[in-house]
Amino acid sequence: MTLREEIAKTLGKAITKMGLGTEKLSVSFSNRPELCDFQTSFALMVAKEVGKKPIELAEEIVKNAGENKFFEFSAVIPGFINVKVKNAGLNAYANDVLKDKNLGIEQVKNPRLLMFDYGGANVAKELHVGHLRSPIVGEAIKRLHEAMGDKTISDVHLGDYGLQMGLTILQLKEDGYLNAFFGKNANPNAKITNITLDLLNEEYPKASKRKDVDEEFKEKADLFTLYIQQHKEPYFGIYKQIKDLSVAEIKKNYELLNTTFDLYLGESDAYPYIDETIDIFVKKGLARESEGALIVDVAREGEHIPIPKKDPSEPQRYKNPMPPAIIKKYNGGDLYATTDIATILMRNRDYNPDEIVYVTDNRQSGHFEQVFRCCKLAGISPESQKLTHVAFGTMNGKDGKPFKTRAGGTVKYKDVLNMLIESAEKKLSDNGIVGNKELARRIGVGAMKYGDLSNTVAKDYVFDMDKFLAFDGKTGPYIQYTIARINSILAKFSGEIGVVDVQSEEERNIVLAVLKLNSSYQICYDTYSMNALCLSAFDLASAFSTLYNNTKILAEKDAERRKNLISVCVFVKKCLEKALWILGIDSVEKM
């Protein structure tokens, strides 16, 4: 039970004793921490119903609650009940947290199975800056669910079946890199040895540009794409080898960001389910033909209101339009929506998760709304299944526009990571630490992640390396630094560790900060946004710094007190490390 629930229970008993209902009782953190730690406005809300003045009712509840060894209740004008947690209450809480394998993070009452779809890299296309937020946000939400007791499965959902594959292979063929597979002495089982990722990163953009001006090239690429989808050799074999090459690189890049996936499936894995998916819509009468394509009307009543035309030749427009989903094109090509619907069909056959969470940028919101509605209409997703799209905003440069290279081009994912690591290395060398690349990665990535996750997920944010990397302030490195400081204290301490025994205002604030931290997890769980956790972790780190600055820990003369202060250090370290782990940020031993 959390302290807040404990308080509610104690007050609840007093209220019941008075013959009143407790439905409206809720206890919240105080917004006047100098006066109290928690408060409730229960008396203000029900006074009228029971025909009393709020302050009288509050006083009566406090009287009925009586003495309590953990809490001190007081009624204050106009009718609040303030709650101060006594040191004994804070000690009981802190020592319980230390013993708990979940460190006081409340576990969900009914654990569920969630499937996470994030990452979204495309095979044969280089990862760019737009691919950074999905693994950062997705990994954190996934870890949060794990920490709170849910089961999770993560799937990177590669873009591995589209036109980009046909284009790339066609370009490679034309440039002579695939001679072993074609021509007189062709060997469909040849091994690709002359193709590198750097080459792919050149060939795809080249082909992509060409398709816009060269109709014949585009048609050929479409055909190659179809061959791949039909598993025709040598196209399919070449595709698989290129995919393996590309996926190895993608994996490495995600791992640099502490992001891992249980499944490396992709659009291609849903391919066998496409025909069946379309059939379901046709058989249920949910699809209709329109200009040679098959479409599904997903707009709800009132949402799809046609606007009267001024002239009959005008295209029909709608008020509040939710356009129909196109599930099959006139040329039979498979579409993004269809693939996602088929993927849900596949996932439900294989895993039947209680919820599927997609993490992409907000430009895909319309797409997912259509996909989800289609799945519900067709019964591909059972009514009880929750489908969630976590839509994040754009990462902007300091000018407030989407982050670009100096020349205005797209920034590569790799370049952002290198920049982070190099900046962290510089910063470390200013502090006298040189040549520790892994440490620099942990700090650079921690800086980026905290800078990202401390914003409300839906909002755009500004990528500001200097600000993110500051060793003090609301940053990842500051929290890492706090842990490193504690490590250095612990390294110098020998002997047995005591218990948390709050003696000072500084220690009180630490335990209260952990209380807040532990209540932030539920907020993040409900909102799919990590900002509350980021801020509470900072508050805890900063509460520790105050203790550190004002208190001699290792030099404390009283041995009992010294080992209890060490216990406070361990308490803070464990809670901060857990918070960082959930955010996908590594702790560091030293920095």
Strand ranges, E, within 132-223: 151-155
Q: Per-residue x/- marks for ligand ARG, 25-64, CB under 6 A?
A: ----------------------------------------
Cβ-based neighbour number of residue 403 at 10 Å: 19
Residue nearest to ligand ARG (CB): 120
Q: What is the DSSP letter of 106?
A: P
Torsion from C-alpha of 459, 462, 467, 472, nearest 10 degrees: 0
Q: Quick one: 58 or 337, whose CB is closer to ligand ARG?
A: 337
The distance of closest approach from Cβ of residue 339 to ligand ARG in the complex, given in angstroms and rounded to an integer, is 8
Residues 551-580 that bind ligand ARG (CB under 6 A): none
Q: Quick one: 360 or 567, whose CB is closer to ligand ARG?
A: 360
The distance of closest approach from Cβ of residue 528 to ligand ARG in the complex, given in angstroms and rounded to an integer, is 15
Q: Quick one: 166 or 477, whose CB is closer to ligand ARG?
A: 166
Q: Phi and psi (nearest 5°) for 129?
A: -55, -30
With CB under 6 A as the contact rule, the residue among 340, 506, 507, 586 that binds ligand ARG is 340
With CB under 6 A as the contact rule, the residue among 79, 89, 159, 166 that binds ligand ARG is 159
Q: In what order do the strands lie in the sheet with 293-296?
A: 287-290, 293-296, 325-328
Query: Contact 565/556 with Cβ under 8 angstroms?
Result: yes
Q: Quick one: 346 or 486, whose CB is closer to ligand ARG?
A: 346
The distance of closest approach from Cβ of residue 389 to ligand ARG in the complex, given in angstroms and rounded to an integer, is 10
Q: Quick one: 409 or 435, whose CB is closer to ligand ARG?
A: 409
- Counting DSSP H helices and E strands in the chain, the numbers are 20, 15
The distance of closest approach from Cβ of residue 159 to ligand ARG in the complex, given in angstroms and rounded to an integer, is 3
With CB under 6 A as the contact rule, the residue among 116, 358, 450, 528 that binds ligand ARG is 358
Q: Does 360 bind ligand ARG (CB under 6 A)?
A: yes
Q: Quick one: 133 or 508, whose CB is closer to ligand ARG?
A: 133
Closest CA to 253 of 408, 165, 352, 132: 132
With CB under 6 A as the contact rule, the residue among 41, 122, 519, 536 that binds ligand ARG is 122
Q: Quick one: 340 or 425, whose CB is closer to ligand ARG?
A: 340
Q: Quick one: 126 or 577, whose CB is closer to ligand ARG?
A: 126
The distance of closest approach from Cβ of residue 340 to ligand ARG in the complex, given in angstroms and rounded to an integer, is 5
Q: Quick one: 97 or 395, whose CB is closer to ligand ARG?
A: 395
Q: Per-residue x/- marks for ligand ARG, 66-105, CB under 6 A?
A: ----------------------------------------
Residue type present at position 355: E
Q: How many residues does the chain have?
A: 591
Torsion from C-alpha of 404, 408, 414, 417, nearest 10 degrees: -40
The distance of closest approach from Cβ of residue 239 to ligand ARG in the complex, given in angstroms and rounded to an integer, is 17
Residue type present at position 56: E
Q: Quick one: 149 or 402, whose CB is closer to ligand ARG?
A: 402
Q: Does 120 bind ligand ARG (CB under 6 A)?
A: yes
The distance of closest approach from Cβ of residue 120 to ligand ARG in the complex, given in angstroms and rounded to an integer, is 3
List, as own/partner pairs, every contact residues 74-80 make where C-beta atoms lie below 8 angstroms and the sequence separation is at least 24, other chains included: 74/36, 75/43, 76/35, 78/44, 78/54, 79/41, 79/43, 79/44, 79/47, 79/53, 79/54, 79/55, 80/39, 80/40, 80/41, 80/43, 80/44
Pairing of strands 305-307, 355-361: unpaired
For residue 34, the Cα-to-chain-centroid distance in whole angstroms is 34
The CA distance from 469 to 472, in Å, is 9
With CB under 6 A as the contact rule, the residue among 157, 243, 441, 508 that binds ligand ARG is 157
Q: Does 133 bind ligand ARG (CB under 6 A)?
A: no
DSSP characters for 222-274? HHHHHHHHTT-TTHHHHHHHHHHHHHHHHHHHHHHTT---SB--BHHHHGGGH
Query: Contact 477/443 with Cβ under 8 angstroms?
Result: yes
The distance of closest approach from Cβ of residue 397 to ligand ARG in the complex, given in angstroms and rounded to an integer, is 21
Q: How many residues bind ligand ARG (CB under 6 A)?
A: 8
Who's near 585: CB < 8 A, 6+ residues apart? 258, 442, 445, 446, 449, 450, 476, 479, 480
Q: Quick one: 328 or 516, whose CB is closer to ligand ARG?
A: 328
Residues 100-119 that bind ligand ARG (CB under 6 A): 117
State the distance between the two ends of the chain, measured CA to CA, in whole angstroms: 37
Residues 199-218 that bind ligand ARG (CB under 6 A): none
Task: By CB under 6 A, name the binding residues for ligand ARG.
Answer: 117, 120, 122, 157, 159, 340, 358, 360
